Amino acid sequence: MNSRPLSDRSPTPFLWGVSTSAYQIEGAAHEDGRGLSIWDTYSRLPGKIAGGDTGDIACDHYHRYREDVALMQKLGIGAYRFSVAWPRVLPEGRGAANEAGLAFYDRLIDALIESGVEPWLCLYHWDLPQALQDKGGWTNRDCANWFADYASLIARRYGDRVKRFATFNEPSVFTLFGYCLGGQAPGIVDRAMLLRAIHHVNLGHGAAVDRLRAAVADASLGAVHNCQPCRPATDKAEDRAAADLFDAYWNGAFPDPQLRGIYPPAFAEAMAPHLQPDDLAMICRPVDWFGLNHYSPHYVVASDRNPLGVWFGPAPADVPRSSMGWPVEPQAFREILTNMHKRYGLPIYVTENGTAFADQPLPNGEVPDAPRISYLQAYTGAMFDAIADGVDVRGYFVWSLLDNFEWGSGYSQRFGLVYVDYPTLRRLPKASFHWYADLITSHSASAVPTV
């Protein structure tokens, strides 16, 4: 790794931020006319979420957003990526809008702008309205149009103040786990349903890009992809084949059609029955940037436990892990940044990176989290090594501002720069919060011309 300090190596200007998502932090699940999402339903199914947790209260950000924006201002970030809860603004997913829900995001966006933090709005971070799931959700081709109509509503309402929009967060994750591998809402395990969902999400992306462009003249648009090198867990031929197939789905199912107008050859033939003429042209619409989320590489094995025939094998024994069990390998981050830059050629924003550890507050309210600081140091260092290699990275967002509802892990996994004491909902900035604030300050200081 390059030994020069980070602040000497970061390009100017470089955008520092944090990311969150609606279902994971907002709470207020039954307030002000919000409709149900598939995660409200899924989290109530016995045994699906650790501890039987739900997002009903989460971090209560819906009521405490001002305190959270003040934390962002203290952190010194330039941008905040959040998602809108589709069922909060359209309780039935389509049709009548919910003014109280729309007004919440007005208040949030205004508070961000007043604090000098640029809002980055993500339309979809997994919380499909349950009313649309009842009509087949993403397996129904109409869902692409429902999504496009929702995108128009959001663009018209906030486009005067918000210019940065992401269509989907990690479509490969919510389709693979939600429709084939198990473990996420809506809890379907079926390969044909997976293929349909993938295609309809891609159609929704293309349609939403067109709607956003039409409504917001100076919009800057992208989609957010979870990119992880997929390595075979062993040398066996079947595990190598499984890793290649999984790579095609995980890293290619969305960026390839959206940015190159093709489905990856590994499953293009299987996808063909779901395509209508011109679909790929409608999906492949020009965007401005590539949102890249990264946590760790996958180690893949062939397996018959799901219809895709792949599963997760062990990482090499000497690789350290986070409390999620995810391998900590900063060089994999450099590798995937380089690959995605070469493959798609778009400016990259790292829209999520971070790690979970079992943080414990001290009696004085401080929260030491040295392992998270080491992780962030190593990963930002790897990112700047990629930049030095010529990869065009324009910004970096830590996942996450707050500890929050971590999907199947409930509240048992803490990713925040700020500790949330769930019984009281008190926010306690961790040591990594101060570390990140210092990094941002030192970067800004180094960006001031010295003449």
Q: Which among 68-76, 169-177, 196-204, 263-271 is the span making contact with ligand FCB, rule CB under 6 A?
A: 169-177
Shortest Cβ 70–ligand FCB spacing (Å): 23
Angle ∠(32,34,39) on CA atoms, nearest 5: 145
Which of 21, 251, 258, 306 is the binder for ligand FCB (CB under 6 A)?
21
- What's the one-letter identity of residue 389? D
The residue among 105 and 168 lying less far from ligand FCB, judged by its C-beta, is: 168
> How would you classify the pairing of strands 79-83 and 220-226?
unpaired
- What is the CA 299 to chain-centroid distance, rounded? 21
**How far apart are the C-alpha atoms of 26 and 57, rounded to whole Å?**
7
Residues 260-319 that bind ligand FCB (CB under 6 A): 293
Q: Which residues is 427 bridged to in the sheet?
A: 420
Q: How far is the CB of 85 from ligand FCB (least distance, A)?
A: 13
CA distance 101 to 90: 8
Nearest to 433 by CA among 381, 332, 365: 365
- Residues touching ligand FCB, count (CB under 6 A): 12
Minimal CB distance to ligand FCB: which residue? 170
- Angle at CA 176, nearest 5°, toward 170 and 177? 95
Q: Between 279 and 403, name the residue whose CB sits nearer to ligand FCB.
A: 403
Give yes or no: 170 in active site: yes
Q: Which is nearer to ligand FCB, 247 or 352 (CB)?
A: 352
- Does 352 bind ligand FCB (CB under 6 A)? Our answer is yes
- Decide if residue 53 touches ligand FCB (CB under 6 A): no
Q: How far apart are CA 402 and CA 418, in angstroms?
A: 5
Q: Which is nearer to ligand FCB, 147 or 405 (CB)?
A: 405
201 to 230: interface string for ligand FCB, x by CB under 6 A: -------------------------x----
Kindly state whether residue 83 participates in binding ligand FCB, applying the rule CB under 6 A: no
Residues 362-391 that bind ligand FCB (CB under 6 A): none
Q: Which stretch binds ligand FCB (CB under 6 A): 64-72, 328-336, 399-407, 438-446?
A: 399-407
In the bound state with ligand FCB, the residue whose beta carbon lies nearer, of 82 and 274, is 82
Torsion angle, alpha carbons of 407, 413, 418, 423, to 10: 90
3-state secondary structure (DSSP) of residue 37: strand
- Residue 24: CB minimum distance to ligand FCB, A: 6
Distance CA 184, CA 182 (A): 6
Least Å from the CB of residue 179 to ligand FCB = 16
Which of 26, 31, 99, 170 is an active site residue? Answer: 170
Q: Name the pairing type of β-strands 310-312 and 298-302.
A: antiparallel
> Using an 8 Å Cβ cutoff, are 432 and 379 in contact?
no
Residue from the set 170, 247, 329, 359 that interacts with ligand FCB by CB under 6 A: 170
Contacts of 260 (CB under 8 A, 6+ apart): 284, 344
Q: Is 224 helix (H, G, I), strand (E, B) or coil?
A: strand
Which DSSP symbol is given to 289?
E
Give the integer Cα–Cα distance in Å for 315 and 299: 6
- Closest to ligand FCB by CB, 282 vs 401, is 401
- Quick one: which of 296, 312, 43, 54 has its CA closest to 181? 312
Q: Which of 173, 195, 302, 348 binds ligand FCB (CB under 6 A)?
A: 173
Selected range binding ligand FCB among 166-174, 299-307, 365-373, 419-427, rule: CB under 6 A:
166-174
Instruction: Select which of 26, 329, 352, 406 is catalytic.
Output: 352
Give residue for tokens 């707050």. Answer: 402
Interface with ligand FCB (CB under 6 A), residue from 150, 384, 396, 399: 399
Q: Which is nearer to ligand FCB, 359 or 385 (CB)?
A: 359
Of the candidate residues 124, 263, 289, 407, the single one contacting ligand FCB (CB under 6 A):
407
C-alpha distances out from residue 252 to 37, 191, 272, Å = 27, 17, 16
Q: How many CB atoms lie within 10 A of CB 94?
A: 20
Q: Which stretch binds ligand FCB (CB under 6 A): 151-159, 165-173, 234-242, 430-438?
A: 165-173
Our CB check for ligand FCB shows the closer of 173 and 284 to be 173
Report how far residue 207's alpha carbon sits from residue 226's, in angstroms, rounded to the nearest whole number: 21
In what helix (H) or strand (E) does residue 220 lie, and over which residues does it extend? strand 220-226
Is 31 part of the annotated catalytic residue set?
Answer: no
Which residues make Cβ contacts (< 8 Å) with residue 303, sequence separation at least 6? 242, 309, 310, 311
Q: Which residue stretch of 137-145, 167-175, 243-251, 379-387 sits at the interface with ligand FCB (rule: CB under 6 A)?
A: 167-175
Binding site for ligand FCB (CB under 6 A): 21, 24, 169-170, 173, 226, 293, 352, 399, 406-407, 415
Active site residues: 170, 352
